[in-house]
Structure 1
Amino acid sequence: MIVVTGATGQLGSQIVERLLARVPAHRVGVSVRDPQKAKALADQGVRVRQGGFTDTAGLAHAFEGASQVLIVSVDKMGDEAVRQHRAAIDAAVAAGARRILYTSHMGAGVSSRFQPCRDHAATEEALRASGVPFTSLRNGFYASSAMRFLGHALESGQVTLPADGPVSWTAHADLAEAAAVILADEGRFDGPTPPLTAAQALTFDDIARIASDVTGRIITRTIAPDDRFREHLVGDGVPPEVANQLLGVFAAGRAGEFAAVDPTLATLIGREPIALGTVLRERLSSD
């Protein structure tokens, strides 16, 4: 059985949807905090069990009989994120899984300027130490994050952010498809995958131009000094620690940590990855 965690989240739900196109439902299980939210999966024949990364007994029950476990990384940062990931790894080992998969990041590294990438590196080290074969999905930076950074620029005509560098913004749908392909073809990758990225790395200057083309109005990109941007975030109620972590995205981008472009994702999904302009058009059509 293939067990997927976080199966009601944005990425996990899409992974399960695409996995069910390749694997019979009775071979798929999900570990979720609220089974009611996964009722549609249960109705399709997927095994739904309650299990959160802070619930050891729940994880043991959710992972029972798993041949593969896909750990979808949590939306935490720092020690808490790594602690929860390690708990999930330990549970997968205890359940006898023959392979553990993990949604990592293309920028994973112990010296990254972005905290989540350091967390991913620590989790990958825990996977290596587990003694179980693993696959670390080195996902490109989520394109939805670019949309959040773009904020109200589509209405105001101006996006003001710190100096940045090129980033391989990648659609959730493509990463979900790739994860499903890899789960269905067990052992296709051992250890970290190559970067799973879109076909281009873009700066926010590029994104402003794309937004201008898509909307038909001029979107201007201006640079805010890091300290001023941080003050603006804190003034809007963002906790100082979180503001510092968000600034890490731009520091890492300037250092080229997210600039890699690799054909592996296109090979896995059998087509060119979704471009950021398409993601933007979809956002506009859904507003």
Structure 2
Amino acid sequence: MRPGSGRIWFYRGIIRNDIDERIIMRIAITTPNGNVGRHLVRMLVRAGIRPLLLTRRPQSIAPELLAFVDVAEADSQDAAQVVAATRGVDAIHWVDPSVMSDDPLADYARATDALVAAVTENGIGRVVFQSSIGAEKRHGVGEIDGLAATEVALDALDIDVTHLRCGYFFSNLLFDLESLRAGRIATVLPLDAPMAWVAPRDIAEVAALTLLDQEWTGRRVQAVHGPEDLSWTEVAAILTDELRREIVAVRISDDEMRQGLLTAGMPEAMADAVLGMSTGLREGFVPEQPRTVATTTPTGLRGWVREELVPAMASGR
């Protein structure tokens, strides 16, 4: 096409046309205060993007960010709100929000419907979806079944979509502070079976690079595996070193874990969904995406423990 004819293309987060006008790509971010979102927002700001942050509580956005972002009030399970908030958006990083619920998979379905409505009605051409290892099974993996359903719904649309299949978040250890203070971590998984552990910041980096890279098209799956596979025994040894107290990994029964979740106040369906994420990946599961250079990210568990877990342990929260 000849110069001056108005052809548009993307390059590193900026839409360019052939008369050399620059139009900054509009990127929306959901759960901007989440474990991944809080890093992703700042990465995009540093890259020169002014992201649109979708949140149920606009007042929760850090004051120092407000000069660099736009904020829209939207509940990710409310299709009308999400559609209204994402008009004019070119790309979106979507997270199905995990909430304490009597029917978590129904909540995931509502979030999926809201995303599909926004993409369809607003012509959003690119989605980076924060999924999980195990979503490839499609069924039988507890809460991850909700992520699988979102993948399927996005794959049915005529858009460019990347599913980030993430490993086990380091930040999940923050839910176990009381147990760690008592010197143990409990799991229903085999103690010596290795699995991918990953820092949320590394997931954010992969998400940012994917959002800014306009060379990919179609449906993609990008695994995010962290620097190495770790067993629960190895994790306990690292925690022992870094926390300077003995931490023992203990394998408990499914019933013990479920009862513990119920005692902590989880509704039954939520407890079953959380337990199912472990039991569904326990027997002979092999991730669809093998570990490669492309899936391996740099942040190690030791560094994350020093930066985030040690202060959390000291805070007494």
TM-score, structure 1 as length reference: 0.86
* Aligned with residue 242 of structure 2, among 214, 218, 223: 214
8 Å contact 2:236–2:249 — kept in the other structure? yes
Whether 1:250 aligns to 2:278 is yes
8 Å contact 1:6–1:72 — kept in the other structure? yes
8 Å contact 2:83–2:114 — kept in the other structure? no
Change (3 A) 1:98 1:211: same
Structure 1 residue 41 displacement after superposition = 6.8
Distance 2:116 2:147 in 1: 13
Structure 1 residue 65 displacement after superposition = 0.9
Whether 1:163 aligns to 2:193 is no
RMSD of aligned alpha carbons: 2.5
Distance 1:82 1:109 in 2: 17
Q: Deviations over 1:172-200 (max 9, x none)?
A: 11111111111111243642323111121
Change (3 A) 1:36 1:111: closer
Whether 1:100 aligns to 2:127 is yes
Percent identity between the two aligned chains:
25
Structure 1 residue 256 displacement after superposition = 5.3
* Aligned with residue 264 of structure 1, among 294, 298, 304: 294
Structure 1 residue 236 displacement after superposition = 4.0
Q: Residue 31 of structure 1 corresponds to which residue in structure 2?
A: 54
Moved over 6 A (4+): none
TM-score, structure 2 as length reference: 0.78
Whether 1:71 aligns to 2:97 is no
Distance 1:162 1:127 in 2: 32
8 Å contact 2:163–2:222 — kept in the other structure? no
Q: Whose helix fraction is larger, Structure 1's or Structure 2's?
A: 1
Q: What is the 5 A alignment of 1:1-287?
A: 1-25=26-50, 28-38=51-61, 40=63, 43-76=66-99, 77-148=104-175, 150-164=176-190, 165-188=193-216, 190-255=218-283, 257=285, 261-266=291-296, 272-282=297-307, 283-286=309-312, 287=314
Q: Residue 5 of structure 2 corresponds to which residue in structure 1?
A: none
AA aligned to 1:105 is S
Q: Deviations over 1:96-139 (max 9, x none)?
A: 11212211112213445422222111111110112222121222
AA aligned to 2:54 is S
8 Å contact 2:225–2:295 — kept in the other structure? yes
Max radius of gyration: which structure? 2
Consecutive unaligned residues in structure 1, runs of 5 or more: 267-271
8 Å contact 2:77–2:107 — kept in the other structure? no
8 Å contact 2:143–2:274 — kept in the other structure? no
Structure 1 residue 11 displacement after superposition = 1.9
Change (3 A) 1:209 1:145: same
Q: For this pair of structures, how many residues does the alignment match?
A: 279
Segment drifting more, 124-133 vs 277-286: 277-286
Q: Deviations over 1:240-266 (max 9, x none)?
A: 323222322332342354765332244
